[in-house]
Structures are given as structure tokens and as C-alpha cells.
Structure 1
Amino acid sequence: MSANPLRQFWRDSSLSALVAGFIAMLTGHTSGLVLIFQAGQAAGLDSGMIASWIWALSLGMTCCTIGLSLYYRAPIVVAWSTPGAALLISSLPGVTFNEAIGAYLVCALLLTLVGITGTFERLLRHLPNSLAAALLAGILFRIGSEIFLAAQSQLLLVLAMLFSYLLIKRLQPRYAVLAALLVGAALAGANGLLDLSQVPLQLAVPQWTTPTFSLSAVISIGLPLFVVAMASQNIPGLAVLRADHYPVPASPLLSVTGFASLLLAPMGSHGVNLAAITAAICTGPQAHEDATKRYTAAVFCGLFYALAGLFGASLVALFAALPKALLLSVAAIALFGSIGNGLQAALHHAEEREAALLTFMLTASGISLGGIGSAFWGLLLGLAVLWIGKLGQRA
């Protein structure tokens, strides 16, 4: 590594890397901010607390992305857990926000310990991929299906967004979600449903929330967040790096992101993890023709994260001005790919198909038993079905 990494960064950077970094930031924020805004509203948080949440996430993503990318000279993109935000939409209303912060801390501590102790690979062996994928698909299914509920009130808006997404996906897939959002916003503005005059240019101010710990919050939020972070963020994120020939050690990445999550949880952050979809934008040839210089795209992505975090209050006001049908639709559209991939992976192995199906169905049901959300019960049921199946094989 160069004695002056910043000077080397400017030498290695290019316009394509800058554009890739911007698109990576925009891709993650387009879908993720909608879910965070929905989760914050479901929990009864005011705009200041939601802005603090975005600020904390952006700070963690900025520091981890830039620091790790410069240190390893690899395009290591860190993002918040979008499926985790989707999980919180249904989980936060059942607990106080102080208890949710306590659950975030437990999740971050588990992620940090997994990284420090090097138990990542051993842990994965105890959680079948089919169940992890079914859990993810079940969490996201409820959010994705709301596009059809939104169509009841704003049919033209929803159809325009859906068809623009499908069309652009065939031509330029990375812009498909953004296209749906822009079409929806334009149509909402034309119909007088969008008032941007009330959106101020305002800096986000971090707000401290003192954590409290409850068993129900840890079980219904902390543990599912941990599973989702590992299954839908860290594992795919490492797979993207390996696929593009960046053999970065896993344990330090998990330790750094877990520790950052631990520090920022009291400001509202539900955790930062390795990115997969946005990382692929920075690891591919479109970011830079020289693979050894693609780390600059990730650094640019981190810089754009910083700008988004600073103006988190303006972003919250912007999303408050958008029609509910638009928010529901763009969130659903952004999750189509994850839902489909999750179902495909969950049902791939015939011997685990029934367990995965039941995990998906129970998780997607959204029921709460004993104050504990459906994600935990879905995973527990799937593991029980697998265990019963193995007993039958032994007999």
C-alpha cells in the first residue's frame, strides 16, 4: 500500500469510477430510504429521529467503505441492511424505540464477535442456506405485496411505475428502480399529489436514544436482524468480492462493520454490513477497466454516502412529501429481485423444500406470538421440520 493512500487514490480514480460510485449510492438509497421512512413512521418516530437514523447509517457506511477500500485496495462497499429495514416495519411497532436500540446493540455485538473469533464459516454450517433464503423472502414478501394494495387507490400511478421498471430493466437494469421512482414522482407532480415547497435544505442532527434491553425485543428484532444481516448482506457481499477476484479476508470486514454498528446504534442505526448489489456496481469493469483501481469507485461511493447523511433531514422531508402509494410501490419494486432470488434458493433442494416453504409462509404471515415476531418463529419452525426429517431418516 502506498505511503500516501489519498494521493494514490486521486491518481487511480477516473470519471467512470466516480459515476459508478454515485450510481451505487443512489441504487442503495432509492429503495432503502423508503423502507427506513416506513419503519420510522410505523414506530411513531418524528422526522428528527428518522433523520438521525439516516445520519448514523450514512456515517458508518462512509467510514467503513472509505477506510476498508483504501486499506485493502479493493472495492469494499458497506451498506445498511435493506431487508433488515423491511423487517423493522412490522417489528418496531411492538416495542419501544429504546428497546429496539438495545436489540440493535445485541445484533451488532454478535456480528462483531463473529468477526473477531473467526466463527463465520462454522456458524454458516449450522444455518442451511435454504432456510436463510426462505426467511429473507418471507420478510420481504409482505412489503412487496403492498404494491397491489397501493393500486387500489392509485391504479394509474402504480401501473406507470411498474411498467417503467419492467421496460428499463430490459435495457439498463441498474437504473430500473430509479426510473420507476422518477416516473412515479413525475406523475404524482402532474396530478397535484406532490408538494416539494415544504422540503427544506437542512442538515441532519444526531439524536441519542438510551438503550434498554428486553428479551422479547432481542428475540423479535435483534436475532432476526443478525440472521438477515449474515444471510442477505455479509454472505452475498463476500461472494461478490470473491467472484470478481478480490480475496479480502472475511473476519476483519465483519469485525469493523460490527463495531461501527455498535457505536452508532444509540443514534438510531440498525446496522451496517457488506453490500452485495451496490458492491457489484463498483467491482465490475464498468467502474474501471483496471481491476486494481476499482477501489476508487467504492471510495467515491463512500463520499456520496457522506453527503446523503449530512442532508438526512432534507431526505426525510422529501419522502414525507411523496404520496403513500408511490412509497409503497417503489419499495415493492426494489425488492422484487431479492424476493425472487430468495424463493429460488429456498426451494432449490428437494430434501429441504418443505422446511423452507413453512419458514417462508410463517414469516410472511406477520403473526406475533408472545410479543415475538414471525421471523423468529418461521426460522424455528423450519429448523424443527429439518430435525424431524433427520429423525425419520435415522429410523
Structure 2
Amino acid sequence: MERPPRPPPNAREFLGDAKPRYAINGFVGLVFSATGPTAVILAVGQQGGLTQAQLASWVFGVFFLNGSLTVLASWVYRQPLSFFWTIPGTVLVGPALTHLKWPEVVCAFLATGVLILLLGLTGWVKRVMAAIPMPIVMGMVAGVFLSFGLDLVHALARDAVIALPMLAAFLVLACSSVLNRYVPPVLGALIAGVLAVLAVGRFGVLPGQQVLAAPVLQAPQWSWQAILELVVPLTITVLVVQNGQGVAVLRSAGHTAPVNTSTLACGAWSMLSAAVGAAPTCLTGPTNALLVASGERARHYVAGVTCGLLAMIFGLFAPLFTRTMLGMPSSFIAVLGGLAMLRVLQNSFVTAFNGRFSFGALVTFIVTVSDLQLLNIGAAFWGLVAGLAVSWLLERPDFGREEARDVPEAEPAAA
């Protein structure tokens, strides 16, 4: 584990560094995570038939538990280290729930945490990240995320009165470098969508009076099918896609992220989050990009601590938020999740088909989109296997090139 470069700040030092701009950056980071990415959780949960209580427990886990890790890591290392959940891994759960039970998926969450922790303890993380070409990984991610883009288009066609105002607000804010600095486009789309839903009287109040979180402890059910189908793709999305992106974002801002410590923390917190039915923890890229958007590098950690504290508060009120979001029309969640994923989908395509391993990435994408079920194992896993095999046969020189691996960087303005 990397040693912190300096002792953690005391209360007086923290208050001296806590200027308004860093608190605003932390707030914007939380708003990003609480809008589009959370809509992805709700969309996947609805697709898989999860109950309102299970979804609220999932939201509690990814915000309250990961928020506590964000506060601790940012404080100790004096840099913004925002930990939330793997969005690509969350998307993988939707198709899996069509043939796996929820306790079996939770078992895969737990096993993923154990594997990540073991990799962190052995020091093999960098080797694992280097062994799987990023273009092939992003071909899988593009195939998994494609459905969100298609759902966005379908929502525009079938429910324009809700979808069009959301899209218009998103585009107006995304086009203005001044406005989107203070109001993220996804937040603008959320506000426009809420106003549209209220204007047409489409908000349905779901039953339930619970406001504070009551986590649902879920016992895992062992399943070889779930382990084979989900653990490897989930581990790859955490270590290669998400953590790799987070490290790249922080490095571009002048920070040296503690890779080994972050890996160990992701493994331990993934195991903890699995107990309440939450997807594995990761060092997030887009949120960290928002935290370092402005200000002095030495004070960026304040934004991380602020974001973590706000996430913990948000997690405590997970049932209220979940009930409110689920009371919205399905098109509202589809548009919000689709808009949040557009930039990630774009970066996935660019990384997959912009150089090395492009044919293997194409095969990975096609197999993933096909929704192939072979030996009761989902398409994302077979996409990786097929892509690696094709690249090894037809693109073998690409494995020997001494080139820096491509790591997709997030663009917070539209993420």
C-alpha cells in the first residue's frame, strides 16, 4: 500500500482549505452520480424485476458505503479519490437477471470483491490491467452500453412530450461552456424532465412511507453459472475500465493516485456492498474529473471529502429518492440514463476502433450485442473470449508493440 505523502489535514487546516469553489465541485460531483448513473441502476433493476426495497438498498450501498470510503481516502491521501460503483458492471446485471436469481448475482458481486482484493494483495493488478488490451475491453463496453442509446431513441419516438424537453435542455447546456460549468447537462435534463412530467400530470406516487434507509441484507446463493458469467467481466470493468479511467483523470490533473491501495479498497468495499445488494466499488473517472475541474491542486481533496459526505447523506435517504424516481414514467429514466451514457458510449467506440486490436474489438462488440447465451454464460464474457482469440490469430503484432495502453478519459461536461 502506498504511503500518504503527508499526514492527513487537521480540522483547522481543512477549514482553511475549504473554499466555496471546492464545495461546489464536490456538490456537482454528487449531482452527477445521483442523476444519470443512478437512473442506470433503476433501469437495470426494473429490467431484472427487483423490488423497490431491493433497489433502495442498492442505492444505499453505492452511496453511503462508498461515500464513507471517499471521505476516508480523500482525507488520508490529500487528493480527490472518489469511489462509487462500476456502471458497465451494473449494465451487465440486466441481461444476467433474465436467467439468474438475484441471490446468485449477489454471489457474483461478493466473489468479484474477493478476486479484486486478492489481486491487490498479490500485486498483480498492473499485470492484469496490461494483459487485456483496452480496445477489446472497450468493444465489450460499447456492446453493453449500446442498448442505452437505443432506449433513448425509442423514448424520443414513443414519448416525445417527456423526452424532447430533456434532450433540448441537455443540448443547450452541453453547447455552452459557461452554463455547463455550473449546471451539468444531465442535471438540466433531469430538471426539464421533472417539469415536463408534472406539467402533463404523469407522476405516479408509489406506495410507501419509508424515508430513511433500511438496507436489505441479501444472503448470496452459490452458482457456478453466475461466477463464470459475471465475475471476470465485473473484475475487468473495475480494474481496467473504471480504475484505469480514474487514475488517468487524476494523473492529468497532477495527482498520483495510490493504485494498490485503491485496488484493495475496491475489493474490500465491494464485499461490504454486496451484503446489501450493491454492485462492486470502483475508482470513478467522471466524478473525479468533476472534482478536479477547477482550483488549486493541493486543495482538490476538499471537493472529494465534500462529495463523500453528501453521498452518505444521499444514501441515508435512498428509499425516498428511489420511490420518487420510480414514480416517473419509464421514458424519463430511459432518457436520463441514455443521456448519461452517450459520452461514455462515444469514448468506448473511439478507444475500441481507433488503432490496435480494432478487428478483435469489432468481434467483441458484435458478440456482445448478439446477446449470445452459450453454456448459460452471457454474451459479454464470450465477447471478450472471441475478441482476444481473433486478435491473437490475426493481430498478433499488436501484442508486441511497445505502446502506452489507451485509457479512455471522461469528459465531465456531457457525462
Q: Which TM-score bucket, shorter chain as reference?
A: over 0.9
What aligned pairs does 1:262-277 form with structure 2 within 5 A after superposition? 262-277=271-286
Q: How many angstroms apart in 1 are the aligned matches of 2:14 and 2:7? A: 10
Instruction: Determine if contact 2:8/2:77 at 8 Å carries over to the other structure.
Output: no
Structure 2 residue aligned with 1:78? 83
SS of the residue corresponding to residue 282 of structure 2 reads strand
Q: Give the whole-Å Cα distance in 1 for the aligned partners of 2:24 and 2:12.
A: 20
Partner of 1:232: 241
Counterpart check, 1:250 vs 2:259? yes
Larger mean Cα displacement after TM superposition, 94-103 or 153-162: 153-162
Inter-partner Cα distance in structure 1 for 2:73 and 2:279 = 20
DSSP 3-state at the match of 1:79: strand
Conserved? CA contact 2:206–2:323, under 8 Å: no
Instruction: Give 1:268 shift.
Output: 0.6
Provide the residue aligned with 1:363 in structure 2: 368
When normalised by structure 2's length, the TM-score is 0.89
- d(CA) in 1 for partners of 2:8, 2:357: 51
Q: Higher helix share goes to which structure?
A: 1
Given candidates 299, 302, 305, the residue that maps to 1:293 is: 299
**CA–CA distance in 2 between the matches of 1:64 and 1:5?**
18
Tell me the equivalent position of 2:16.
11
Deviation for aligned residue 1:34: 1.0
1:392: how far off?
A: 9.8
Stretch deviating more after TM superposition (15-24 or 160-169): 160-169
Candidates 124, 131, 138, aligned match of 2:136: 131
The one-letter amino acid of 2:371's match is G
Query: Which letter does structure 1 place at the counterpart of 2:60?
Result: W
Matches within 5 A, 1:1-395: 1-2=6-7, 5-171=10-176, 172-173=179-180, 175-195=184-204, 200=209, 202-285=211-294, 289-349=295-355, 351-390=356-395
Q: What TM-score comes out, normalization by structure 1 length?
A: 0.94
Asked if structure 2 preserves the Cα contact closer than 8 Å seen for 1:116 and 1:252, the reply is no
Q: How many residues align?
A: 390
In structure 2, what is the Cα distance between the partners aligned to 1:109 and 1:318?
34
Q: Which runs of 5+ in 1 are unaligned?
A: none
Q: Distance in 1 between matches of 2:13 and 2:208?
A: 39
Letter in 2 for 1:361: I
Q: After superposition, what is the alpha-carbon deviation per residue over 1:43-93, rounded to whole angstroms, capped at 9, x for unaligned?
A: 222111111111112232112111111111111111111222222122222
Q: Distance in 1 between matches of 2:215 and 2:80?
A: 28
Partner of 2:84, secondary structure, is strand
Separation in structure 1 between the aligned mates of residue 262 and residue 54 of structure 2, nearest angstrom:
28
Q: Is the 8 A contact 2:68 2:309 kept in 1?
A: no
Q: CA RMSD in A?
A: 2.0
- Tell me, in whole angstroms, the C-alpha distance in 1 between the residues paired with 2:78 and 2:130: 30
